Amino acid sequence: MEINDFIEKFAEQFDDTDPSEIKADTVFKDLDEWSSLVALSVIAMVDEEYNITIKGDEIRNSDTVEDLFNAVKTKA
């Protein structure tokens, strides 16, 4: 798993947010478009792309995109 690849796929889950706004250190819950629907899309993306199941707690306990990447990576 590569973090740049993860960031790109993470950014694809937003409809209106400029992908360039999303970096490893982005506090994703501060993004205007962040919602439980985007969280759902992220969970689905991780499942589809990495065949890893994450739950709301892993998202809740992550601040940055990199935190979430690391949480996913530990389950790989």
Partner 1 sequence: MFIDYKIKGKYVNLRSVEESDAEFILSVRNDPRISKYLPPLNVTVEQQRQWISKQRADKDSYYFLLETPEGDKIGTISIYDIDGDHGEGGRTCCIGEPFAAVEASLLFHDFVFDVLGLNYTTGWVYENNKPVIALNNSFGISWVGKNYDKNGEPYLECQMHKEPYKLNRDKILKKLRIIK
By CB under 8 A, how many residues form the interface with partner 1?
A: 19
Instruction: Tell me the closest approach of the beta carbon of residue 13 to partner 1, in angstroms.
Output: 9
Query: Do residues 71 and 58 touch, judged by C-beta distance below 8 A?
Result: yes
Residue from 8, 21, 25, 47 binding partner 1 (CB under 8 A): 47
According to the binding rule CB under 8 A, does residue 61 interact with partner 1? no
Residue 61 dihedral angles phi and psi, to the nearest 5°: -85, 0
Return the closest-CA partner of residue 22 out of 69, 57, 56, 71.
69
Stretch of residues binding partner 1 (CB under 8 A), selected from 3-11, 18-26, 27-35, 61-69: 27-35
